[in-house]
Structure 1
């Protein structure tokens, strides 16, 4: 790296190995808390769509659910792939390599464009796929109306992930929070105007919801890009300069690291989708109770997920700096923070489950009583696996900071589909534990993956994950 490149970089903080644990806790918390709230706000985007689709009626809500269930797994795969920008920019920051940051971000946009071109034709086959699966033709037709427009959100939404990775690398997470909250507001207003035809606009119903989704992602991308291009801390990177110039090694590196991340996300999403299908075989009450408990667990999951993103950045910076002790402190600090929160959420689910689920189902209605009891039971089990769920997401993100994604992907796929799902089937249907057995299967799969991934991070040196650092023995204490 040339001297002029190094001097262009803002001076990094003192190496974690020279800082105390308290300083690392403060740095991690300052980086993570806006990400946590931003993740919750991101959930609010989807919740707003669901609520307003419900105002249109049961048929619109069912069609919107079908559309979302089809598009989201493929979208999340794309998000996982471009998410590789986060560890790569963090490592470049640690190495003080400004050119690498610019090139990684630029190739991240390239990856988003390519993924859009690959995924969009698949998503547009929703009518064909659901036809094979025997879904109601009327609902599928309405779902197709939504998807035909919503598919346009792929590129801007993945572009947001690329820029969010850059901002997180340089601790600018409050900006991410503000822009995401702004997106929630834009989405709600656009939905209100376009879905229901207020203020003289045409009533577009599900098409209006799709347009609102596209406009919201374009808004967030535009604001985030304007901030990066104009703010003095980021404009020095010139991320759009020579945008059309290829950098094939970094382009391939994004897919090398990101594809396993995307497949890992798909494996986990698929596990919970399979669990919902199994619940549907048991009955309406079980499925409704499952949906309520899963919504609560998903909300709590936003905290370790936000912390996990911070772990990728902190570990990645230390890795780029060739600071083995910094990796240790960054990783385990995040682990402690995550376990502390998940312990609280686990205790809350176990002790206050009936009160929590009553927020979703009216306890005054006699027809809800069975679902309420089941939901509280499932939530208590969810409380028990909160710790392992937090541990596996922390470990996976920490390993991503080391660019280690392929083996964790294999561990996750095996744990979810060769342990979690078979155990859920065995306990739910063979041992006749029904919904409880299915949730115990989910817990078993998450616990299996957590043990493997935490163990991999703990043994990162003897497994050769720090070979780049090992080239300079002076970095070890």
Structure 2
């Protein structure tokens, strides 16, 4: 029976689910920052190769993670019955199948990435180091996506705290293995960027082991991994149909940000440095909304499975309220104290520091609007995914990002002469259009939700 929670009750439930997910997202952000900082202390070439390799890996990781994220609403929608528990296991297993298949299909692309990078105009030395990195992390895509499947499975069953603790452990493992293998400490070989790649794979394997042992311990009766090799065609295609639009939606958004980075690169090193710092700061606050969005997907999935639209909408109001409070706090900090946010990223002796700070301050001001739009669109996606609605949102997002946002970034940045702030203004426009379209789709939905037929 649906729990008739007030909006305040929904907010408490969302915080209980969402805060560990926010912490886990921040942990993953810290892992990326640690890799960048430690490679930067090793050499400029290693840093360039690591950043390029991470961008390459993350692009395909986010696409493949669509199948893992499809597991979240599908598991959350299942009833607490013997049949529902069986379906939960089937969904989780086929999520693993799709993740492994996706990873194996992409392996040749990682292995032969050197030729691709040279064709894209990268310097030969950086291309060679990046290819070394990608040949190591490529097979790591298998455990990385499997981790996402298990996190989705456990989060949908309201076991979100384990994601936080596993990520905290992953941060420690990443720092330790980086320190040993990048720099050759404790008698280990000095591997540079290859050491960072091995550290990343180690993190994925340790995280997978921790989540698998936890899942097996908490749900011993479900025999989660018994006869894992047995196919389940019906559920396989259900997860596939729900997951590929999620993956493409994420790829479209990442592609937009990558394209704007290229455009700002045309303006020179100082604008690109300011862009990179401002984007790191904006990302650190965005992961809060991302965690709340995942929690909203779980709550919406529960209501969707029970066919209770009123319950779903009360939860949506609570989620938007929490996200809105974070937006207000972020806007206040971004507008009142932008310079202190940039200081940790810059060398005080760098002669370009004043120029970077001046431009970065203007970008952070634009990022205040950026946060409003980005928070709204990711929350709307969370609600719609909970209702297992992914194809039309994919179309809306692609139109908003690529047919509106990207041209707007170019026009504002170059023909209108606004430079980097103009390029960021185009991001705001694209994300705002996505937010409006996705929110309208959710709030105008008059149908009574219910699980899709198997």
Q: Give the shorter-chain TM-score range.
A: over 0.9
**How far has the Cα of 1:20 moved from its partner?**
2.0
Whether contact under 8 Å (2:22, 2:291) holds in the other structure is yes
Partners of 1:285 and 1:93 in 2: CA distance: 55
The answer for the alignment partner of 2:14 in structure 1 is 28
Map 1:20-99 → 2, pairs under 5 A = 20-93=6-79, 97-99=84-86
Q: Which residue of structure 2 aligns with residue 424 of structure 1?
A: 409
> 1:435 maps to which residue?
420
Deviation at 1:28, TM superposition (A): 0.8
Counterpart residue number, 1:5: none
SS at match of 1:331: helix
SS of 1:200 mapped into structure 2: coil
Q: Deviations over 1:156-182 (max 9, x none)?
A: 111111111111112211111011100
- Residues 132-163 of structure 1, C-alpha deviations (whole Å, 9 max, x = no match): 11211111111111111111211111111111
Task: Output the CA distance in 1 between the equivalents of 2:152 and 2:132.
Answer: 32
CA–CA distance in structure 1, aligned partners of residues 220 and 452 of structure 2: 34
CA positional deviation for 1:253: 1.2
* TM-aligned CA distance change 1:230 to 1:390, over 3 Å: same
Normalising by the residue count of structure 2, what TM-score does the alignment of the two structures yield? 0.96
Deviates more, 1:158-167 or 1:92-101: 92-101
Matches of 1:217 and 1:135 in 2, distance apart? 28
- The CA distance in 1 between the partners of 2:449 and 2:385, in whole Å, is 15
Question: How many angstroms does 1:25 deviate by?
Answer: 1.3
CA contact (8 A) 2:296 2:315 kept: yes
RMSD: 1.7
Q: Do the aligned residues in 1 keep the contact of 2:31 with 2:174 (CA within 8 Å)?
A: yes
CA distance in 2, matches of 1:218, 1:265: 24
Q: Distance in 1 between matches of 2:252 and 2:350?
A: 37
Q: 1:78, CA displacement in angstroms?
A: 0.6
Q: Is the 8 A contact 1:363 1:372 kept in 2?
A: no
Separation of aligned partners in 2, 1:215 and 1:319: 38
Alpha carbons 1:95, 1:320 under 8 Å: kept: no
Partner Cα distance (1:50, 1:108) in 2: 31
Q: Map 1:380-395 to 2 at 5 A.
A: 380-395=365-380
Q: Where in structure 1 are there 5+ consecutive unaligned residues?
A: 1-13, 472-477
Q: 1:191 maps to what in 2?
A: 178
- Higher mean Cα deviation, 192-201 or 369-378? 192-201
Structure 2 gap segments, 5+ residues each: none
Matches within 5 A, 1:246-257: 246-257=231-242
Per the alignment, residue 8 of structure 1 pairs with none
The alignment partner of 1:92 has SS state of coil
Measure, in 2, the Cα distance between the counterparts of 1:42 and 1:469.
32
Q: Please tell me whether residue 143 in structure 1 is matched to residue 116 in structure 2.
A: no
Partner of 1:410: 395
In structure 1, the residue matched to 2:192 is 205
- 1:424 Cα deviation after fit: 0.7
Asked if the contact 1:94–1:317 (Cα under 8 Å) also holds between the matched residues in 2, the reply is: no
Is it true that 1:269 corresponds to 2:254 in the alignment? Answer: yes
CA contact (8 A) 1:324 1:469 kept: no
Q: Pairwise mapping of residues 88-237 of structure 1 onto structure 2 (< 5 A)? A: 88-93=74-79, 97-231=84-218, 234-237=219-222
Partner of 2:306 in structure 1?
Answer: 321
Distance, in Å, in 1 between the alignment partners of 2:359 and 2:114 is 34
> Which whole-Å CA distance do the structure 2 matches of 1:468 and 1:134 have between them?
50
In structure 2, how many angstroms separate the alpha carbons of the residues matched to 1:328 and 1:139?
Answer: 50
Are 2:270 and 2:352, in contact at CA under 8 Å, matched by a contact in 1? no
